[in-house]
């Protein structure tokens, strides 16, 4: 496994892979890797000839009062995990590689996709995400890029950007990996103490309550919302940012679910902001 920091070295490795007609799979991450990230790597290993993973804690997707400074930095452990998965290439760019001196170009998806839900609390977040992913796509030039459904809105925004910018990249969205008790794996779970971790189960319990109602035939957005809220009513220490029942492509709120919907939740447990979601389909 090669660990590459320099842009020119990365370009040489990518050119060699292209010349050998290798199908390149790419998994962008911010490190602090867990089984959720590794599930994306496994999918890439199955479907591609060369797997590249990037580790870059992207400063522009964090708001001024967010956790950029304390975000876990575990590069040694991360590279060991990736070596164990037989990853070919790990790209760990320096900040100046991604944001050179004087950098003033942004990539931004406009419209509801980047105004609603997460964006209401984190107005600059998606601009940071699309800018870094667009740059990484330029550098790695993958055939397929893998993202987690855990960050549902992000995956919708990335699909939009990829299509709009005519990148010839297939975007694959992989299922959320959870702990056995339901908690979605997240690098931010490290911030939780044992009591908070129990409270964090409110998110998946809320989603599972909505799923149970859906399976019993409930199709009213409001009723599904009430079912999720009822779970949170039992968790006084958890503060809900939003519960939303939306169209999975447009993110428009749904009064009535026809074929499918996404149930999205964001909530704070102590200082830690968590998100989770579930797709419900006929
Ligand atoms: P991050 O390092 O948080 O930027 O995440 C890198 C990628 O891993 C993103 O595409 C995430 O959606 C994905 N990811 C994070 N957590 C999970 C999870 N529990 N299951 C599946 N994918 C995940």
Strands 272-281 and 260-269 come out as antiparallel
pLDDT score recorded for residue 37 = 98
Nearest in space to 127 (alpha carbons), one of 170, 93, 79, 161: 161
pLDDT score recorded for residue 148 = 98
Give the predicted TM-score (pTM) of the model. 0.98
pLDDT score recorded for residue 266 = 98
Is residue 163 among the annotated active site residues? no
Q: pLDDT confidence of 267, banded at 50, 70, 90?
A: very high
**C-alpha distances in Å from residue 10, one per residue of 50, 91, 203:** 13, 7, 39
Which pair of structure tokens corresponds to residue 169? Answer: 């990249």
Instruction: Evaluate: CB of 40 within 6 angstroms of ligand 1.
Output: yes
Instruction: Evaluate: CB of 262 within 6 angstroms of ligand 1.
Output: no
Ligand 1 probe mutation, 28, 33, 36, most atoms within 8 A of CB: 36
Instruction: Evaluate: CB of 29 within 6 angstroms of ligand 1.
Output: yes
Residue in this structure with the two tokens 């447009």, named with its chain if needed: 250
pLDDT score recorded for residue 131 = 98
pLDDT score recorded for residue 255 = 98
> CA 275 to CA 187: how far, in whole Å?
12
Query: Mean pLDDT throughout 30-57?
Result: 98
183 three-class SS: coil
Write the CB contacts of 29 (distance below 8 Å, at least 6 apart in sequence): 37, 53, 54, 55
pLDDT score recorded for residue 195 = 98
pLDDT score recorded for residue 26 = 99
> CA 175 to CA 172: how far, in whole Å?
10
pLDDT score recorded for residue 74 = 97
**C-alpha distances in Å from residue 186, one per residue of 32, 189, 208, 226:** 9, 5, 18, 26
- Distance from the alpha carbon of residue 147 to the mean position of ligand 1, in angstroms: 7
Q: Which domains does the chain have, with CATH numbers?
A: 2-174 (3.40.50.620), 187-277 (3.30.1300.10)
- pLDDT (tens digit per residue) in 115-162: 999 999 999 999 999 999 999 999 999 999 999 999 999 999 999 999
Q: pLDDT > 90: what percent of the chain? A: 100
- pLDDT (tens digit per residue) in 199-247: 999 999 999 999 999 999 999 999 999 999 999 999 999 999 999 999 9
């Amino acid at each position: 496994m090669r660990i590459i920091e320099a842009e020119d070295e990365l370009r040489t490795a990518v050119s060699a892979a292209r010349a050998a007609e290798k199908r390149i799979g790419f998994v962008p991450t911010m490190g602090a890797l867990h089984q959720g990230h590794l599930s994306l790597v496994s999918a890439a290993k199955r479907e591609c000839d060369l797997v590249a993973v990037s580790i870059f804690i992207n400063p522009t997707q964090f708001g001024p009062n967010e956790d950029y400074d304390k975000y876990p930095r575990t590069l040694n452990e991360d590279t060991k995990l990736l070596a164990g998965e037989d990853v070919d290439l790990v790209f760990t760019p320096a900040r100046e590689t991604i944001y050179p001196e004087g950098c003033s170009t942004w990539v931004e998806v406009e419209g509801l996709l980047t105004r609603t839900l997460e964006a209401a609390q984190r107005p600059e977040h998606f601009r940071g995400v699309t800018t870094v992913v667009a740059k990484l796509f330029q550098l790695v030039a993958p055939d397929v890029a893998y993202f987690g459904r855990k960050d549902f809105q992000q995956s919708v925004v990335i699909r939009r950007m990829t299509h709009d910018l005519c990148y010839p990249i297939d975007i694959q969205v992989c299922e959320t990996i959870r702990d056995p008790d339901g908690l979605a794996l997240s690098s931010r779970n490290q911030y939780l103490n044992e009591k908070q971790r129990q409270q964090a189960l409110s998110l998946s319990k809320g989603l599972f309550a909505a799923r149970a109602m859906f399976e019993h035939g409930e199709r009213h957005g409001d009723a599904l919302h009430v079912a999720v809220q009822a779970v949170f009513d039992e968790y006084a220490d958890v503060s809900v940012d939003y519960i939303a029942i939306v169209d999975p492509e447009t993110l428009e709120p749904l009064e009535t679910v026809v074929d499918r919907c996404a149930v999205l939740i964001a909530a704070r447990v102590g200082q830690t902001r968590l998100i989770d979601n579930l797709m419900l389909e006929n």
